[in-house]
Each structure stands twice: as C-alpha cells, then as structure tokens.
Amino acid sequence: MDLPRIFTIRESSHRLHNPFTPGKLAALGEALHLAPGTRVLDLASGSGELLCTWARDHRVTGTGVDISTVFTEQARARAAELGVAEQVAFVHGDAAGYVADEPVDLAACVGATWIGNGVAGTVELLSRSLRPGGVLLIGEPYWRRDVPDQKTAEGCLATAKDDFLLLPELIERFGGLGYDVVEMVLADQDSWDRYQAAQWLNLRRWLDAHPDDELAADVRVELSTEPVRYARYQRDYLGWGVFALMGR
C-alpha cells in the first residue's frame, strides 16, 4: 500500500502537498484560535507540516494518517526536527475509512477528498472522529470562473466541469450538508505557482540523475507538457482553499 512513485518524485522538495504556502498554513492556524492541547486528526497528512508546525506554534496534539511511506517518514523526521515528536504521531495507512479511537477537537482532510469519494463522503468520514462542537477542515478545489468547455476542464485535471463548483456554490454545498462555514483561507496565484512550478525543478533534477530509470520517459513527457498546461488552463481557472466547518 503506497502512492505511485511519480508522486513522491514530483513533490520531493515539498513540505506541503497542496497549493498553500507556509504563510497561509500559519494564517489558518491563527484564524482557528487553536488552544494548547487541541486534539487533531489529519487524514491524508502528507509530510506532516500542518500537524508539526501547529504542534510547535499552538501546542496541539494529534495523529496524521497517509498512504505514502515516503511522506510518512518525512513527517516523522519533521516532528523530530521541530521537537514535537511527543505531541504528534504519524501512521502509514489508508486514510479512507480511518476513524480515531477517541473523539478529536479538529478533524482535517486538506486536499484529498477522494478518500471519501468526494466532499460529502469526506465530511461524513471526518465527522465520525469529531467531538460535538468540534471543527472540520476540508481542503478542496473550486472554479475561479466559469469553465467554457471540456478541453479547459481537462486542462485543469478535471474529468468534466461538474467535478468542481464555483466558490459560492461550494460554500452552499457545505451548508446543504448541515455545516456552517466559519473560516476559510484560499490559495492565490502565487501559492499555486510555488506548488506547481517547484514540481518542474524536482522532475528535471530527478531526470538528470536517473536517465535510465523505467519512469524516465514518463517524467520527460510530464516535464515537457506540464508548464504549458498549467499556464494555459489551471492557473486562471482553478482555485483551492481550506474551509473550516461546524455542524449546525
């Protein structure tokens, strides 16, 4: 059970595996007014930056679950680096269906709602671990403006326009699931650039170091096409944000 190797090659230098900068992650932690001792569950926790930095800055405790062995080891190393290894733990496993042993104060899935087959399923999954009155965090893409055609949708790595909603419609969707949106922090074009463009350098450096690897041809194709695809479609049309929800 693991992520395909191309994911860890592509994002090898990333501490955040989504279009958030460290500043935006810190701003989200501040906006939530996290109290010391807040118990957090982070599903699809990646390299653990959310839990580790919030443990350092706000003294939260918690558990992260991720399917990637590489990212899980990076998360454990980051916890040790920041001196928070006694506050947070990272589990290598499938986040889909994972429920905490005891209710938590904050349950998060920041950018991986496929673990619940979409927003509704992920909200339901997270709610199983949440104490009454707790907070859910959902990271999710949305359309920044109307998508004109199927080609543009596919250029944003969607299968169809209906894969995502415009921002007002996404917020309405959360309401329809029985939740108030109580905070949000949105990616901007600069944070998208930092996430996407950093991948191209990772790919090139890996390709130069591994020209005979079985993935080399696929990496060469991706490096040759991704910058144009991103600049032509995704940068203008696709937004992304983290939304804090509380049950009504």
| Averaged pLDDT score across all residues of the chain | 97
Predicted pLDDT of residue 194:
97
Q: How confident is the model at residue 43 (pLDDT cuts 50, 70, 90)?
A: very high
Number of H helices, E strands in the chain: 10, 7
**Distance (Å, whole) CA 60 – CA 84:** 10
Q: Extract the tokens encoding 193.
A: 């650039």
Of the candidates 183, 186, 192, the one whose C-alpha atom is nearest the C-alpha of residue 231 is 192
Range of the domain at 92: 5-247
Predicted pLDDT of residue 38:
98
Predicted pLDDT of residue 44:
98
Reduce the DSSP state of residue 194 to 3 states and report it. Answer: helix
pLDDT in tens, 85-125: 999 999 999 999 999 999 999 999 999 999 999 999 999 99
Number of domains in the chain: 1
Domain containing residue 181: CATH number:
3.40.50.150
pLDDT in tens, 147-156: 999 999 999 9
Predicted pLDDT of residue 1:
80
